[in-house]
A = this chain, B = another copy of it.
Amino acid sequence: MSNTINVMLVDDHAVVRAGYNMLLKNASEITVVAEASSGEEAYQLYSTHKPDVVVMDLSLPGIGGIEAIKRICSRDSKATILVFSMHEEVIFVEQALQAGASGYITKSTDPQLLVEAIIRLSKGEKYIDAELAQRLAYEKSRGQDSLISDLSTREFEIFCMLAEGSNTSEIAKRLCLSYKTVANYSTQIKSKLNVSTIADIARLAIRYKIIQA
């Protein structure tokens, strides 16, 4: 029997997936057993392939990466998910870990670290990008979380979608929630962030580099 690490790649860009695939071919310990291009697909393929480690981008169409992590982890509490994201902001690390991820690295890191991180996670360890871990610790120690990190997982998710220009009913549809639920969340988010319009939400999101202008 082999003790190879079975990995599933989740990224909506086929080119990027192909690149990772080739990178990981150089690592003999690792076998890519599945690829998904959306959160929904990831969730389904996870069930059929049960990979040891999921390498997941956060910006995905449909249900985003965070929601995909939540669903996979609620289905299988032992799921091991490595977030491999372009976002270099602490807030994303917090949210991803809260959703159930076991590791977080950014696409700026040395390619070799992707392999390293996958191996670490497969052993049950955690692995967080060194610089982000530092910043996370530093900000935590100074209690310097932005208002945004007060948002719950769901709140944050809806916050992002509002900032990106989705309206209440679109969000409800995408997240399979009642319109009312999203509307109520929207009100609560504004209250927590101390703003009164969606424009303020968008600007906050851009200021904190959660979305791009």
Contact = CB atoms under 8 A, between A and B. Distances in A.
B15 A199 contact: no
Contact of A199 (B20, B59, B109, B201): B201
A85 to B, nearest CB: 10
Given A15-B114, A19-B23, 10 more contacts: A14-B107, A15-B23, A15-B107, A15-B108, A16-B16, A18-B19, A198-B198, A198-B202, A199-B201, A203-B211
Interface string A193-207: 001111111110011
A24 to B, nearest CB: 10
B164 A199 contact: yes
Interface of A: 12-16, 18-20, 22-23, 59, 84, 86, 107-111, 114, 162-167, 195-203, 206-207, 211-213
Q: Give this chain's copy count.
A: 2
A203 B205 CA distance: 10
Contacts of A109: 14-15
A196 B162 CA distance: 12
A109 B203 CA distance: 29
Nearest to A199: B202
A199 B12 CA distance: 24
Contact of A167 (B12, B163, B196): B196
B14 A197 contact: no
Given A22-B19, A213-B213, A108 B199 contact: no
Nearest to A110: B14
Contacts of A198: 197-199, 202
B19 A165 contact: no
Contacts of A166: 197, 199
Contacts of A20: 15, 19
A165 B111 contact: no
Nearest to A114: B15
Nearest to A108: B13
A165 B200 contact: yes
